[in-house]
Each structure stands twice: as structure tokens, then as C-alpha cells.
Chain A
Amino acid sequence: MSHELSQEPIATETDVPTDSDGDVMIEVEGLKTYYEDGGLLGGTPVKAVDGVSFDIHRGETLGLVGESGCGKTTLGRTLLQLEDATDGEVRFDGVDITTLEGDDLHEWRRNAQMVFQDPESSLNDRMTIGEIVREPLDVHEWETPQARRQRVKELLDTVGLQREHYYRYPHQFSGGQRQRISIARTLALEPDFVVLDEPVSALDVSVQAEIINLLEDLQDEFGLTYLFIAHDLSVVHHLCDRVAVMYLGNVMEIGPTEELFTEPSNPYTHALLSAIPEPDPTVERDRITLHGTPPNPRYPPAGCPFSTRCPARIRPAEYRDLDDELWNRLNTLRELLSERQRADRSVRDRLRAAVGKDTRFGTVEETYDELFGDLEVPARVQSVLDEIATLARDHNESEAIAVFNEAFGSVCDDEPPAYHDMSDGGHQSYCHRHTDEYRSPDAVIENRHG
């Protein structure tokens, strides 16, 4: 079902082009990138990118935002074939590049380049600036060596450095200058598409604006298409035409920048935006605090990826009157249970449990005391909790989780949501609350946190 749903945005986007001048350059469809790091033993892979679909239009800047670890860098690297896609397609001008190999891949690499995050690490400091910027030209045997040197000098000029810098070493440059060198190298092969992986986050604030301006100028000059990966939302707001918001390997919301910033649809976008300091102090906006940490991408939730922390999570009708604080505690309990369930798979923990030594999670009583000790728990909730406690004490976590879900779970926990169109401009959000059955996220958040 989820696969079907994830195809939906493509259909809508190709039918209704968002940009007036926007023909589609890159189509990403159902892309998954999993890391197997278990070596020979396999094990559960890390689901860094877990089925995303979107388009990038020629000449636009698409922002990709999210907390660190949400998979945005992996997504960018997969688009450039620096990581192998586990599943799905990336069509670059109609060609699926995930299947390219050998000479074809080598040729294609000219078209797509990357500016890396850390200018300290992205330049080999045993080579001169000239050698660094020239290397892509050498690799692709671009014209004659003489012409390559000439081109490198022009490139240095283009990015605001001097031609004499050809024979200097990276050590002799500041962070901002190094990033310029990195950009010059990126431009060497005249790519169409550039992934900018947090290109300014490692720089001084004073230098950031210069680099951003440079990137904008270059885009105009050479007609570049950017995928701008960032966690600084104000830069994204300034630079990007459209924005995609990622959480735990999924795109939660995508849409034109202005629309997304002024009228966010997805609860996660709401939470992210509420963290930006409001420039206008008269506007009242409460900060939505998210509880807990993102789940382990090895074991993402079965339903909506955001369901463990969502401030607008759909609650079962019979418990709708419960206090928000109690819901937070209940969510934490659920987290603990699933953690215990995974940890319990280790033989050592099982042995310790068998000889009466409780594992590192402490006893159920302690946990309960910590979570619910200071709250008033209604009797009907308490009875479910007691049932869960009994099961947990016997180390029957999966059963305990089943009981929890039976009582407190909802569609958010069980089924992945679908993408819903928010406007004609290709604005989409990945949330159950956009169906008619439920209240919209805005209303709920207003209600719960307002």
C-alpha cells in the first residue's frame, strides 16, 4: 500500500508543473538506501532513506531539511551514486542512473557534482589548489593539459579567488576560501546538477552570506540546478524555490518555500518551524517541544515515522480526554518497551533476567514510578498499565506492546500515511490528519500547544 501511495506525488507533479519554467530534471521514485553494516552476519540494516519520491526541476533550488541523522545527506549522496540505492529509481533526464555502470556511469558523473560540508576535509592538503581543481578535468581527459590549466585559472577567478593561487596549498587558505576552491572544483566539468551538502554550516557567520551569494550568482550564470541540504532553515528560506522536509528517511512535506514556511501542513514541519526564532516579536508563536529522540533508523515505527514524537498524533477516541502530559509518558513507556524487546534478544540479557538480575533497564516498578508516580492516572488507563506491567515483568515485551497498541494505538501507529495535496502548487504532506475523518494538524496543535 505504501508503495502505491508513494507514487502518487509523481503523478500529480508531472501533471501540474509547479514552476512556470520548470521541466523536470530529476525524478526520484520510491528510493531506498539501506546500510548493511553487519558484515558477513547481515543483521538489520539501517534504513537511512526509506522510500522517498520527489522531482527536481531544471534550474531550481530544492532545499532538503531535517534534523541530523534523518537521512538527508545519504539521500544527496545516493542521487550522485556515491551510495548504492537499495531500491527505487533516480531518473536523470529520463535515464535511471541507479543502474548505470562502468563507462556510462563515468560519463554521467560529469553532470552531477557535490559541494561538501567541511572545507577542512574536502580538499586534499598535499595537493596544490591547481591540482585539486584540475583533477576532475584530468580524470575526464578534458582537452589539452595547457587548456586545463587555463580553465582552472578562470575557475579560480569565477569563484572570487586569484589566479596566482594555483600554486598555493589548502593550508594557506581560510575556511571560506577553501569552500570557494571546493566550489571551483565542482564547476570544473560544467555540471548541470549540484548537491550542496550544508555548504556553509562549517563556516563563520560572516562568511556564510558571501558563499551563499556566490552560489546564487553561479546558479544564474551557469543555469545550475541545486539540491541544497541544510538544517539552517533561515538560509533555506532565503535560497530555495521549494523545500522538502525529511524525518527518519521519509519526506514528510514538500512544497514551495514561501507556502511551506507560512502555512506548514505537516505536524513535523510545524515543530521544526516553531524552533526558528521569530524575527517579528509581535507575532505570537509557541515553541513546540518534541519529546524524546528520533527512533533508531534500524527499527522505524510501523506506521507514520513521526508517530513516536508527533505533537498531533491521532489518539483513540476513548482516551481522547487524557491529559497531554500523560500521553507523553505513555509514549515514553512504549519506547522503553520496544527498546527492551530489542535488547532482550541478546542472550546475555536473557541469562541475567533468568538468574533474577534485572537488565540495565531497571525493574518495571521503578520505571512506572518514574513515569507515572507524579500523575493522576485514571483507573481505566491504570488497568491497562497493570496488564502491561505483568507481561513486562515476565519479559514478554512483544505481548506487552501488543496490549499497549490495542489500547492506546491508532492509525498513526499502524499504517503509513499517504501524501496529500495541500495546494495546486505541488505542496504535499505525509500525514493521516489530512483525511476528512480527522481534524487538521494545525487545529490540533493549536488546541494542544496553543
Chain B
Amino acid sequence: MSVSESFEPTETTDESRPLRERVADNPGPARFWLLGTAVLIALEFGRYIGWVYQLVGAVKYVIGLVGLIPSWIGDSVGEATVPIVSYFVSDTITLVLLFGIAVLVTRFTSWSAVDQFDIGLSDRIVRFLERAVVTAILATLAVLLAFTPVGGLVNGTIDGVFNTLSSIPTLTSHEVISNQGHRTPGGGWDGTFLGLSPAVAWGLRTLLVYTYALTVIVWSWKGYTIFRDHYRQADWTPRDDTLRRFRSHYWGLFGLIVVLMFIVTALWAPAVSPTTADQNIASPYEYEIEYLNDDGEVATVTPGAANLGSISTNQNTVGPMSYDDYDRWAPLGTTPSGQNLLTHIAYGAQTSLVIGLLAIGLGGLIAVTMSMLTAYYKGIVDILTVLTSDTIISIPAFLLVMMLSVIFGDHPLAEPLNGGLLLGLIFAFVYWPGMWRTIRGPSLQVAEEEWVDAARSYGQTPANTMRKHMAPYIAGYIMIYGSLLLGGIIISTAALSFLGLGIEGSTPEWGRLISDGRQLVSTPSWHVATIPGLMIVLVVTGFNALGDGLRDAIDPEADTGGADDTGTAAAGGGG
């Protein structure tokens, strides 16, 4: 090209370098921010490692489940035919699964055999061979892990490392600021943080949790502004406008705050609760606590026994902001079985969050994938999806949820979280057609845009076209609908527990509290049902407000100001 000759190739302008180099040029702001981040992480390091460990556990669980698929299918085929067939079938399916993983691995690594070797085969064949090799490596690894002691060894090491690291005390752990202790005959407190009363110690810790969370949020925002002001190459992006619109949307901000508090409560449930769920709810007879008994002596009791003496019913009550007879602080009172209500609510938030996120995440994923496929390919895919979703929608959602939770009641999937996992999956299955319907219009619309055709005209793959040119336009819609639906899922979970169909056993759940306390509303133990009820209302309103805010922020039509500051930005271009 003649134009390329008029510029020396050395003229690499500053702007076209990766982020790392841009930071190296002006390290001040980034260093400042990273330092702060390091401090924040260090303060809660053990807790973060604990979360990672839980994630690893979840991944292992999923891998375990997927690993069962080949033998399930193999066995059923074997039963129907000759047993020996089952081995072939399950091995084939294993290989197919591993090949799928290999495809993902090769897609997400930049190295490619196609660039490295020129062996005169077509690109397609080379790519296939490459994947076959990766599959073989994966299969060897899998055999090694499953049938030799290596697997156990690896597992044990991982567990050991995580256990050690996650037991490091953190700023907000019970070990650092303890609210568990007993009165002394002299009128003071023993065993608590600095000898403070449990109420004050608990209050301090809770305050620290929310302050810490707030700092993290503010610091992340700060990080974004530092990036924007010092390192971002574009001086304006469409996202800036979205953020600006959201920042002046007070109803949306209210929703965001409520939702963030809900999430923080769920994540820091052990720190927010006066006592852990394990000690108070799950295995109360495996711990011992000390208290000052009526005779003025320090005695020992199991929390289980203590719970029996602290029940909130129509006769006795341990109300909000009070101590029970065992010197235990109950900020929100106790339940009819004498457990700490705040512990229940904090851990119950965890349950709701897991179910909600699983349902929205998985359902949203299915909905977005299907909407991309149907909008891009139309035709038969579209018709089949319409049929499937119409079938699911035609059954009343709540009825379907009840049916499925009864059907799968004894399935291994119903074990984690006392059915919480199963419930999340059921909600995902029941609600994806609704989500798909809401984003169907926008996806069809974006598929008609000429930039999708343009992408096709220079040979962009369908998958990349959907990801780059269609999905970003759908993301906003799914976020809005997702946050609206999340409120609904929290209510449905509670409603199921209320009916006795949902989560049972030792997993705390808000709906069960309401169910347990509903006869006590007019008694001194009013708090049992009222507080969780109010929490549900607040959280659901919060999610709805957030959805509203997002909708207005994403919709540029709602924009009134600020258009002129960008309109002239490119005036130098001519044309």
C-alpha cells in the first residue's frame, strides 16, 4: 500500500502498547492502588482462602457428577443390551467428554499447532489432531488420578494447604474479636474481646465487617477511576454514560446498597452472627460453652442443651437485643427451637444467594445461549426452542417446581445444602424459558444489525459473532430481568419451605423461620416470623430497584444530558 510507505515502521505510537507497559510508564497511581489492595486482602486473607477452598470443593463436586455420567449411561445401555456393551459405551462417552474439554482447552490457549508446524495438511485436520492429542493427555491424567494413589495424594495435599491457610485468623474472625464469654461473679465479662460485653464485641465486629466491605467497594471504584484517568486508552466509552446515568438514579442506588448488604451478610455470615451455624444449629452437642449460673458459679453446658432453655414461644421468649440465660447475646432474639435468629438469617442469606445465583446464572446462560442460536440461525432451531419453552411455560411455574422437587427428592443431587442445590437447578430449568422470551426480541433485533452481516462477510465464525456482536447487547437485558427474577426466586424458595417442601434439616432458610413463627406473631415472640419477613421484603425490593436502575442506565433513550460533550470529540476527522 502506498500509504504505508509514507510512515516509518518505527513510528509505533505510545497508545498502542499493552496495559503492562502503560503502567510501567507511569507506575505511581497503580502502585498506590495495588498497595491498598494488598493491605485489604491481607486483612481477610484466611477468609478469602476459605472461599476459594469452598469453590474448589464445588468444582470437585461437579467433576465428580460429570464423572458419573459415562457409567450411568453405560450401565443403562448395558442393562438393555449385553453387560459388556456398558464398558464400551461408558468409555466412549468419557472420551467424548474429554474431547469436549480438549476443544475448550485448545480454544482458550493461544498456542496452536497450526502456526507451529507446516505439514501440508489442511488447518482443520491439524486442529483435530491437536485436540485428539490433548484428549489423550487428559485421559491419561484422569486414569492416573482415579486408579492410582496419585489421586489421593494430590487431593490430600490440596486439602491440607487450604485448611492451614484458611485457618489464619482474619480481622473479622471470632478468634480476633470474640463475643463468646461469660459473666464473672464480679459483674464483668470473661473470654470476650478486651472484656467487653458480648453485645459490644458483636457490635464492633459487625461494624468492622460492613466497614471493611464498604472500603473494598470504594477501593474498587477508586481502582476503576485510576484506570480510567491514567491508563485507559479511550477517553470515552459507552459504559461511562451507563455509569453516569446509574449514579444519578437514586432508586437504583438504594437497590444496589440493599443488594450489596445482602451479599456481604451472606459472605460474612460467620462474622455477622454471634455464633457459628455449626455450633448453634448443625452440631450443637459437640461444643461446650461456659456461663454464670443462678448460683453465681461458672458452669459448662452444650449449646444444644442451652438452646432448649432459650426458646422463643408463646410462653418464654428471648427477644431482640437481649441475652439468654446462658450469657449468649441474641441481637435478633431466638427461634422457637432456641437457636440464634441472627445466625439463622445470616446463613439463610447464604442459602438464598446460592440458590438465586445458581438459578439465574444457569438459567440465564441457557437463555442467552438459546437466544443467540435462535436469532442467528432461526429456522428449525427456533421452532424447537419455541416448542420447548412453551411447553415448560404452559405448566404453572410453582406447580412445576413442586413436582420436580418431589420427583428428585431422593436423587444424589438433593444432598448438597439439604436440597438447595437441587432447588437452584429446578428454578434454572423452570425460569430459563421466561428469560429467553424476554431477551428474544432484542436478540432478533441485534441479529438484524448490519454489523452481524459485516462480520459474516469477512468470515467471522458464528460463535465469535454471537459473543462479540450480539451477546453484549443482550447482557443488559438479562441483568435487568435476572435481578427482577432473583427476588421472585427468594420468595419462591421461602414459599416452598413454608409449605414444607423446600429446604429441610440443618440448612438455615428464611421461609422456614416464617413458617415456624407464624403462630407467634401476636405473642411476645413476634420477632421469629416478622424479622425474616421484613428481610425478604427488603431484599426483594432491593433487587427490583436495582433492576429498575439498570434498565434506566442501560437505555440511552433515557439520557437527557451529556450528549454534547462527546459529539464534538471527533470533529477533527472531517467527512
Given A103-B123, A149-B16, A160-B574, do A123 and B451 touch, yes or no (CB 8 Å)?
yes
Residues of A within 8 A of B449 (CB): 121-122, 124
Nearest B residue (CB) for A195 = B457
Question: A103 CA to B13 CA in the complex, in Å?
Answer: 35
Pairwise interchain contact B457-A109, C-beta atoms closer than 8 A: yes
Question: A207 CA to B573 CA in the complex, in Å?
Answer: 13
Partner of B573 from the list A125, A158, A162, A171 (CB cut-off 8 Å) is A162
Pairwise interchain contact B15-A139, C-beta atoms closer than 8 A: no
Q: B475 → chain A, closest Cβ, in Å?
A: 10
Question: Is residue B63 within 8 Å, beta carbon to beta carbon, of the partner chain?
Answer: no
Partner of B234 from the list A161, A163, A169, A177 (CB cut-off 8 Å) is A169
Pairwise interchain contact A172-B566, C-beta atoms closer than 8 A: yes
Question: A128 CA to B450 CA in the complex, in Å?
Answer: 17
Question: A121 CA to B469 CA in the complex, in Å?
Answer: 12
Pairwise interchain contact B236-A126, C-beta atoms closer than 8 A: no
Pairwise interchain contact B575-A211, C-beta atoms closer than 8 A: yes
Question: A189 CA to B234 CA in the complex, in Å?
Answer: 25
Chain A, range 134-166, C-beta contacts under 8 Å to B? 135-136, 139-140, 146, 149-151, 153-154, 157-158, 160-166
Given A151-B4, A161-B575, A173-B573, do A167 and B458 touch, yes or no (CB 8 Å)?
no
Pairwise interchain contact B234-A135, C-beta atoms closer than 8 A: no
Pairwise interchain contact B2-A122, C-beta atoms closer than 8 A: no
Nearest A residue (CB) for B16 = A149
Given A82-B457, A167-B233, A169-B234, do A103 and B15 touch, yes or no (CB 8 Å)?
no
Question: Is residue B147 within 8 Å, beta carbon to beta carbon, of the partner chain?
Answer: no
Partner of B451 from the list A124, A157, A188 (CB cut-off 8 Å) is A124
Given A82-B453, A127-B468, do A135 and B458 touch, yes or no (CB 8 Å)?
yes
Residues of B within 8 A of A165 (CB): 570, 573
Nearest B residue (CB) for A161 = B573
Question: Is residue B3 within 8 Å, beta carbon to beta carbon, of the partner chain?
Answer: yes
Question: A110 CA to B566 CA in the complex, in Å?
Answer: 34
Residues of B within 8 A of A190 (CB): 1
Residues of A within 8 A of B574 (CB): 160-161, 177
Q: B5 → chain A, closest Cβ, in Å?
A: 10
Chain A, range 50-104, C-beta contacts under 8 Å to B? 77, 80, 82, 102-103
Question: Is residue A348 within 8 Å, beta carbon to beta carbon, of the partner chain?
Answer: no
Given A82-B453, A114-B457, A149-B16, do A172 and B567 touch, yes or no (CB 8 Å)?
yes
Pairwise interchain contact B454-A116, C-beta atoms closer than 8 A: yes
Chain A, range 111-125, C-beta contacts under 8 Å to B? 112-114, 116-118, 121-125
Residues of A within 8 A of B122 (CB): 103
Nearest A residue (CB) for B453 = A82
Question: Is residue B12 within 8 Å, beta carbon to beta carbon, of the partner chain?
Answer: yes
Question: Is residue B561 within 8 Å, beta carbon to beta carbon, of the partner chain?
Answer: no
Pairwise interchain contact B451-A121, C-beta atoms closer than 8 A: yes
Partner of A173 from the list B16, B379, B453, B570 (CB cut-off 8 Å) is B570
Question: Is residue B294 within 8 Å, beta carbon to beta carbon, of the partner chain?
Answer: no
Question: Is residue A258 within 8 Å, beta carbon to beta carbon, of the partner chain?
Answer: no
Q: Type the 1/0 row for A326-346, where 1 means its CB is closer than 8 Å to any CB of B.
A: 000000000000000000000
Chain B, range 446-466, C-beta contacts under 8 Å to A? 449-451, 453-461, 464
Chain B, range 357-388, C-beta contacts under 8 Å to A? 379-380, 383
Question: Is residue B473 within 8 Å, beta carbon to beta carbon, of the partner chain?
Answer: yes
Partner of B3 from the list A106, A124, A154, A182 (CB cut-off 8 Å) is A154
Question: A163 CA to B13 CA in the complex, in Å?
Answer: 9
Residues of B within 8 A of A118 (CB): 450
Q: Type the 1/0 row for B226-259, where 1 means its CB is closer than 8 Å to any CB of A.
A: 0000000111111000000000000000000000
Question: Is residue B9 within 8 Å, beta carbon to beta carbon, of the partner chain?
Answer: yes
Question: Is residue A373 within 8 Å, beta carbon to beta carbon, of the partner chain?
Answer: no
Question: Is residue A39 within 8 Å, beta carbon to beta carbon, of the partner chain?
Answer: yes
Pairwise interchain contact B570-A185, C-beta atoms closer than 8 A: no
Q: Type the 1/0 row for B536-564, where 1 means its CB is closer than 8 Å to any CB of A.
A: 00000000000000000000000000000
Residues of B within 8 A of A154 (CB): 1, 3-4, 7
Question: Is residue A210 within 8 Å, beta carbon to beta carbon, of the partner chain?
Answer: yes
Given A153-B13, A158-B3, do A117 and B457 touch, yes or no (CB 8 Å)?
no
Residues of B within 8 A of A160 (CB): 573-575
- 29 A-B residue contacts at CB 8 Å? A82-B457, A103-B124, A109-B457, A109-B458, A114-B453, A114-B454, A116-B454, A122-B449, A124-B449, A124-B468, A135-B458, A136-B459, A139-B460, A139-B464, A149-B16, A150-B12, A151-B4, A157-B3, A162-B573, A163-B13, A165-B570, A166-B233, A167-B233, A168-B234, A168-B235, A169-B238, A177-B570, A190-B1, A207-B575
What are the 5 closest A-B residue pairs judged by CB atoms, nearest first?
A: A136-B458, A176-B575, A109-B459, A167-B234, A122-B450
Beyond A135-B460, A162-B572, 18 additional pairs, beta carbon < 8 A: A82-B456, A103-B124, A110-B458, A114-B457, A128-B234, A139-B460, A150-B12, A154-B3, A154-B7, A158-B3, A162-B573, A167-B15, A167-B235, A172-B567, A172-B569, A173-B570, A190-B1, A214-B575
